[in-house]
Structure 1
Amino acid sequence: MGNSRLHVFYYGWYGNPQQDGQWQHWNHRVLPYGDIPLEGRLDFPGADDIGANFYPSLGSYSSHDPEIIEQHLEMMRQAGIGVVSVSWLGADDFAARSIDFFMDKAAEKGLQINFHIEPNYRSAEEFHAIIAELMRKFGTHPALYRYRGKPLYYVYDSYKMPVSEWQKLLLPGGELSLRTPELDGQFIGLWVNQGEEAFFLDTGFDGFYTYFASEGFVWGSTSTNWPYLAGWASRHGKLFIPSVGPGYADDRIRPWNGANFKAREQGRYYDRMFSQALNTKPDIVTITSFNEWHEGTQIEPAVVKQLPDYRYLDYGDLPEDYYLQRTLDWSRKLSAIPVNSSQQEGSR
């Protein structure tokens, strides 16, 4: 049984011709920055040449390969992770094709699943439909994670929808209120910039997380601000969930984004973020990520690989599975921190 206080963001969007009939995501296109035209290559073919700075030890796999799913879940279990936060873009999205199998196998291994809702909604009505769909499909599944009796949802880019729309959903008297016995949950928004206190008070979110693994990228992901966020959350009955990562590298798909590169420093970067997170005595910590290869935040094993015109980054002198091993150490330290029983459930 993994530690249910340690969650990891997981991406099931990878595909290959052997399993899926075509490449998916390994052939990521190079992303532009505003109106600045791209120079050089525009995309990647997949196979050995992928849209990532690191190369996975399992190769350019399919997220729908049953053997890969079982291997991933076993890696997470052995790393002391208890909850897999699956990126959700809708039941018709490529990444959702194997979600039923994924959840069944997670339950067999004693792992739990919750959903990281991507911003493919534009209104309260569309978000309400997403939650209703998830509860209809998975509400009784034994793998569904619940925090204090309610499903917990991470809501990415929550700031993009107006406060008035969230109030319809997250306040008990809202016209599309999710605060019903069938649909209520712990809704965790993304805190990005300084000064978002009013947003989280007015919208009715139950708490917030920081997601980004690049220290200093935004105010919320800057770990020196976490003591303030933890204290503010405690005073207002909100759940603060810091997000840690092993580093950040995405210049194969964002060649203009070198300023946000974060070297792994032989594991020291990961240790510093975890240490800062645990200093806030959190109930939950999230890891960004298990396998977001495009942004180089993965803790999944990577290998040394050289192409004719590119050498992938790797984990240096560390073993391929070092970040899984180190995660287990931090999982044990998190377990030793008492749960904050005074946190007010459902303060809105």
Structure 2
Amino acid sequence: MSRAFFDQIDDELRGLLGPALRTYESARDSRLIKLWYGEPAIHFEVQLVARRWSPVERPVLEVGLHLEDPDPAVNERRLAGVHSARATWAGLLPDAGVGPALGPRGGAWRRVSEFMECTDPDDPDLASEAAERLALYVRRGLGGSLVALLVAAAALPGTVAQAAGGAAGGTGRVVRQVGTRDPGHVPRGYWLAAANGGVFSYGNAPFKGSVGALNKPIVGMATTPLGDGYWMAGSDGGIFAFNVPFLGSTGGLQLNQPVVSIIASPLGAGYWLVAADGGVFNFGVPLLGSTGNLKLNKPIVGAAATPTGQGYWLVASDGGIFAFGDAAFLGSTGSTPLNKPIVGMASTPTGQGYWLVASDGGIFSFGDAAFFGSVGGNPAVKPVVGMAATPSGQGYWLAGSDGGIFSFGDATFFGSAGNLRLRAPVVGIVGVPNTGPGKVGVFYYPWYGTPASTGTGWKHWDQGGHTPPDDIGSSYYPARGPYSSTDTAVVDSQMAELARAGVNQVIVSWWGQGSYEDQALPVIQNAAAAHGLGVAIHFEPYGSRHTTGPADIGYLVAKGIKVFYAYQATLENSSFWATIRGQNPNITMFANGSPSYTKAGQGGLINFALLGGFDGIYTYDPINFSGSDFAPLCALARANRLQCAPSVTPGFDGTRATTLTVTRPRLGGGTYDSTWAGAIAAAPEIITITSYNEWHEGTQIEPAKPFCIPNQGTCYADYTGDFGLADPQAQQGYLMRTAVWSAAYRSTRTPGLP
């Protein structure tokens, strides 16, 4: 095996990784390539394993993650963290083994890796496949969260020694960004799939591979919610997975009718195969119904999923529609004479409409699907074989069998194969989802005061009858001591901390004009601007909000505020907020309600937000939401053209400052990790953090230190041991972890085109 083999892996890997992950350091020779991000002891590797150490007694390639710290205990802790978060990556890396490294250092080093046959050590196709597998480990394999977590942690001062534990929430993702005012839908690209397994990529649709030898022709293609890989399906139900998990196929079954379509769950959980008789085969997703036991007038030719992943439609060649799960029947052409047969369909982002396309390019629109044009009746057009909707639902592409592309509405033309001599006809088109860059916001409380700053005494630090500076209204003690929220030096250092942690929006608690929090706002705005942070308002339920709220919003807009989070928005009726929206059409508003109302489905906070003219919803509550709650909530929000901003939290403990006795333990950082993992899995437009400095409720991520009240024997809780850190490094542990998770979150987002 030559060094050129590993040079090729390096070259191709940089093309496969996004910009944020291309800046790795690497080392290679004629036996291996390894790459890392700041800490060589945590690296990704492709190496030739000699027969002596091979698990199959012949030379193989090993691909994966290596943990090679000189201290075996560090490697073991890291591996334990990786293994505890297995749910976030095992489905994507079904062949990954976890355990001791191969070779003489196996007693000290650890690995998460897989093996590839190495029959020809200089085969360039083998190098390409190894690069693709290694990219999967770096980008998504050990988590759209966990790998990035390890990478980012290694680059931080004082490496976080234990990886994320207890990650929850699964891997489902919904990524249609459909805010009501400025959704930012950018049609980003598309793939064409040919019957021989060829793949043609346009725009920023990444090429992840194509099929070689086939038993049966390819009939369809589907992508992940992130658009970073795809499945291709053969007419026998064989599945070919590229940068996505293989979850099963019908390739080994005797089918009554051939497979004609594949559709993926918008939650990222799996896919369905649909046969010509309407038989449905589910892999990683629920079976919601089929027509396999019915006598159809015409064969099924296509299918589409609802945005919740809890329903789908099947369409027959005469335009007959069969709806299952939460998919609504919105009309069909089943009883209408057609010039040419229907060949495919696509659904709108809301799930309240769909288009049917005929082989002559004719378009039939139902529900909220708008007609943007067609090529019906144009004799120069080769038969149309499929269609794909843009992320906004305000346009679509049609694909011809010759690879020709026809764009309508906001669909951008990125290129076609119409001028190429194809070996096999194109059979389908798939659009790239749009996720946008992703924001991280944090709830910030500017209500703290000292005798020196207020001139009258302590503010908030004395909540619950405590006597600062040693005895304060919190179960934790701030590392910087009790401070004033109007101290410019303090606020500047806080904004600097948040910027380093990857936060880009500070959501400031605000309690009315002239309040102490209002007086602190200019200090926060100036410091935030100096560190590149945006400022939003947490519009609290202060006493006069129901009467002065509209005027107060106008007052804040005049101060440059454009984003508002309405806490307990349901205390006012929806028309109150609709009035504010009407007076301020250019602001962005998020609604919050009780946990039960938020989880109540369409009839709860979702409908309230729609009636009130809100752009999105957020959860805030640090007690009653787990990571697994976020994906279905965000799916429903986006199905209703609302943005989703789930709130992650480190825990809750208000026992020293409030009358609340319920607590949510931090679990050594596990609560923070699991809510972050669940939020990322929901693919929201924004992730919010509860909180930076709500010390009364113990939700803060601001640095805390070990401290005991003199002469009392009462000691505060602190962060020692969380994420495997010791004091004093542990004081910064939650900010360090925020940097890790925010980087992980952004690594899952799709960058915009230039």
Q: Same fold (TM over 0.5)?
A: yes
Is 1:178 aligned to residue 580 of structure 2?
A: no
How far off is 1:28 after superposition?
A: 0.6
SS at match of 2:453: helix
Q: 2:574 & 2:517 partners in 1: Cα distance?
A: 29
Superposed CA RMSD: 2.0
Shift of 1:97: 2.0
Gaps of 5+ in 1: 30-42, 145-150, 171-176, 342-348
Q: What is aligned with 1:198?
A: 607
Q: Does 1:243 align with 2:647?
A: yes
Q: In the alignment, what sits opposite 1:212?
A: 621
Give 1:99 shift: 1.9
Asked which structure has the greater RCO (Cα within 8 Å, sep 6+), the reply is 1
Partner of 1:169: 580
Displacement of 1:340: 10
How much does 1:113 deviate?
A: 0.8
- The Cα of 1:169 is off from its aligned counterpart by 3.1
- Pair 1:11 & 2:445 matched: yes
In the alignment, what sits opposite 2:525?
Answer: 103
Per-residue deviation, residues 108-161 of structure 1 (Å, max 9, x unmatched) = 21111111111126566522111100012x22xxxx5xxxxxx22100010111
The 3 A distance-change label for structure 1 pair 123 and 288 is closer
Separation in 2 of the partners of 1:51 and 1:334? 33
Deviates more, 1:322-331 or 1:155-164: 155-164
Cα distance in 1 for partners of 2:700, 2:474 equals 11
% identity of equivalent residues:
32
1:27 is aligned to 2:462: yes
Indicate yes or no: 2:517 matched with 1:82. no
CA contact (8 A) 1:15 1:62 kept: yes
CA distance in 1, matches of 2:504, 2:695: 21
Contact 2:693–2:701 (8 Å) recurs in 1? yes
Which AA in structure 2 matches 1:93?
Answer: S
Structure 2 equivalent of residue 277 of structure 1: 679
Give distance in 1, aligned partners of 2:539 and 2:700: 19
Displacement of 1:309 in angstroms is 4.4
* 1:265 shift after superposition: 1.6
Residue range with higher mean Cα deviation, 195-204 or 84-93: 195-204
1:61 aligns with 2:483: yes
Long gaps (5+) in structure 2: 1-436
Larger displacement relative to structure 2 (298-307 or 161-170): 161-170
Cα distance, 1:166 vs. partner? 2.8
Letter in 1 for 2:719: Y
Matched with 1:262 is 664
Secondary structure at the counterpart of residue 68 of structure 1: helix
The answer to whether the Cα contact below 8 Å between 1:274 and 1:330 also exists between their aligned partners in 2 is yes
Q: CA contact under 8 A between 1:52 and 1:294: conserved in structure 2?
A: yes
Whole-Å separation in 2 of the counterparts to 1:223 and 1:300:
22
SS class of match (1:310): coil
Determine if the alignment matches structure 1 residue 225 to structure 2 residue 629: yes
> What is the rounded CA distance, in whole Å, between the counterparts of 2:518 and 2:438 in structure 1?
23
What amino acid sits opposite 1:157 in the alignment? Q
Distance 2:609 2:524 in 1: 32
Matched residue pairs, number?
299
SS at match of 2:473: coil
Q: Matches of 1:275 and 1:288 in 2, distance apart?
A: 15
Counterparts of 2:530 and 2:608, CA distance in 1: 39
Are 1:302 and 2:704 an aligned pair? yes
- Counterpart secondary structure, 2:467: coil
Distance of aligned partners of 1:98 and 1:204 in 2 relative to their CA distance in 1, 3 Å threshold: closer
**Alpha carbons of structure 1 residues 4 and 13: separation in structure 2 relative to 1, 3 Å:** farther
Structure number with higher helix proportion: 1
C-alpha deviations, 1:300-336, integer Å up to 9, x for none? 1101111214221111233100001000001101111
- Give the whole-Å Cα distance in 1 for the aligned partners of 2:468 and 2:497: 24
Query: Secondary structure of the residue that 1:97 maps to in structure 2?
Result: helix
Match of 1:345 in 2: none
1:325 corresponds to which of 718, 731, 736:
736
Of 535, 543, 553, the match for 1:131: 553
The answer to whether the aligner puts 1:158 opposite 2:569 as a matched pair is yes
CA contact (8 A) 2:706 2:718 kept: yes
Whichever residue aligns with residue 632 of structure 2, its letter is Y
**Aligned partners of 1:191 and 1:210 also within 8 Å:** yes
SS of aligned partner of 2:591 = strand
In 2, the alpha carbon distance for the partners of 1:51 and 1:97 equals 22
1:116 aligns with 2:116: no
**Once the two structures are superposed, what CA deviation does each residue of 1:240-269 show, in whole Å capped at 9, x if it has no partner?**
1100011111011234x333x111122111
TM-score, with structure 2 as normaliser = 0.38
- Distance in 2 between residues matched to 1:327 and 1:178, nearest whole Å: 36
Q: CA deviation at 1:101?
A: 2.6
In 1, are the aligned partners of 2:506 and 2:535 still within 8 Å (CA)? yes
Which amino acid is 2:555 matched to?
A: E
SS at match of 1:87: strand
Tell me how far apart the structure 1 counterparts of residues 583 and 492 of structure 2 sit (CA, whole Å): 34
Partner of residue 40, structure 1? none
Relative to structure 2, which stretch is displaced further, 303-312 or 189-198? 189-198
Deviates more, 1:315-324 or 1:188-197: 188-197
Q: What's the counterpart of residue 37 of structure 1?
A: none
Q: How high is the TM-score relative to the length of structure 1?
A: 0.81
